[in-house]
Amino acid sequence: MIAPEHIRAIAPYQPGKPIAELAREMGLAEAAIVKLASNENPLGISPKARAAIAGALDELALYPDGNGFELKSAIARKYGVGLDRIVLGNGSNDVLELAARAFLTAQGSAVYSQHAFAVYPLVTQSIGATGIEAKAKDFGHDLSAMLAAIRPDTRIVFIANPNNPTGTLLDSDALHGFLKKVSPEVLVVLDEAYVEFLPEERRTPSVDWLKEFPNLLLSRTFSKAYGLAGLRVGFALASPEVVDLMNRVRQPFNVNSLALKAAAAALDDHAFLAESKRVNDEGMLQLTGGFKRLGLDYIPSSGNFVAVKVGDAGRVFQGLLKQGVIVRPVANYAMPEYLRISIGLPEQNARCLTALAEVIGQGDTR
Ligand SMILES: *Cc1c(COP(=O)(O)O)cnc(C)c1O
C-alpha cells in the first residue's frame, strides 16, 4: 500500500492495558485486577449521568442532535459564555484533532513541550505538519523555551495544564504573560483535562481570558473528574471565529446521543464532582505517603495520577502486572525511569503500594 511518509512515521498511541487482556494473559480473575493506568474516575459515573443514559435508550434509533444544543446550553450556563464559543468533541482528543485539522497544514508547525501529552505530536503528524518540542524545565512546561520555539510557520501551541503524565501545573500569571507575547496569528490550545481536581485558588481564570485572547482555545473533558471516559465527550471554548472553523471539519454527529445526555446531567452533579475531588486528594496523599516510605521520588502532581521514579520502570511494570496491578510505563514520554499511577480508591491504592513494595523488594508499606 502507498501511504505518505508522515503517516508511516507515526508511533501509535499506547493506551493503558485493558483489565480483560491482563486477565486472559495471566489467568487471573478480572475482579482481582486493579487498573490504575488511564486516569479514570475510580468512583464510576455520576448517578445523574446514569439516570440520563437510562432515559435516553429509547432514542438510540435516532441520530443525535448534531448541534448538541442541550449540552452546549448547559456548558454556556456553567461558564458564562455564548453558544457560539463552544465546540463539542468525541472526547477532548477529538477537539485537539479538530484544532489541528482546522489550522495546520503540511507546511506549518506546532509547538509543544517535552514530556507533554502524547496526542499533540500525534495530531500534528497526522497532518504532516512539523512538531517542535520545547525542552521541559523540571518536567514542567518551560514557557520561555516554548515562546522561543515558535517560528513564522507555527500555527498552534499546545499546553497541558496540568500536564499528563507529569502532573505539573503552570502559574496563572506566567501563563497570562505568555499569552500576551504570542502572536495573535498562533492558536494557543490550553488543555485543561484535569482542572476539576485543582483547589479553587490554584485554578487559572482561563475562561475570563477568552475575550482578551481570540487565539485562545480551552480544551475540557468529561473523561476524568466527570467519570465518562467510555462515552467519549469533551468540548472546546474559544472565539466564535475559531469555533466556526473547527465546526467545518467536524463530523456532523461526532458526539453520540448517550454522551450528550450524560454529559449535560453530569455537568450539574456538584456532589459527584466534590466527591471525586475528595477521593483524589486523599488517594494522592495515600500513594505519595507510600512512595516516601519506600524511598521513591515522585513528581508532585496536580492531576488524578502521579509519576513515580522506580528505576528500571519496564521491569517494575511487568512485576506489578504479575500481581494484577496495571499502571502506565512512560518511556514513550522520555521518562524511562518513571511509572504513572492513577489515583484509585483507598483499597486499590493500598494494593498498588503493597505490590510495588514487593516488586522493589521492601515488604509491606501500607
Ligand atoms: C485524558 C486527557 C485528555 C482527554 O481525553 P478524552 O478522553 O479524549 O477527553 C486530554 N488531555 C490530556 C492532557 C489528558 O490527559
Q: By alpha-carbon position, which residue is closest to atom 11 of ligand 1?
A: 193
Spacing, Cα 362 to ligand 1 middle (Å): 34
Find the 341 Cα to ligand 1 centroid distance in Å: 15
Distance 361 CA to ligand 1 centre (A): 34
Q: For atom 14 of ligand 1, which residue has the closest CA?
A: 193
Fold topology of 47-268: Aspartate Aminotransferase; domain 2 (3.40.640)
pLDDT tops 90 at residue 324: yes
pLDDT for res 93: 98
Which residue's CA is minimally distant from atom 12 of ligand 1? Answer: 193
- The residues spanned by each domain of the chain are 5-44+271-360, 47-268
Please answer whether residues 160 and 92 qualify as being in contact, where contact means their C-beta atoms are separated by less than 8 angstroms.
Answer: no
CATH of the domain spanning 5-44+271-360, picked from 3.90.1150.10, 3.30.420.40, 3.40.190.10, 3.40.50.300: 3.90.1150.10
Task: Give the tens place of pLDDT for each residue, 86-135.
Answer: 999 999 999 999 999 999 999 999 999 999 999 999 999 999 999 999 99
pLDDT band (50, 70, 90) for residue 179:
very high
Which protein residue's CA is at the shortest distance from atom 4 of ligand 1? 92
Same fold for the domain at 5-44+271-360 and the one at 47-268? no
Cell of 15: 493506551
Predicted confidence (pLDDT) per residue in 29-65, tens digit: 999 999 999 999 999 999 999 999 999 999 999 999 9
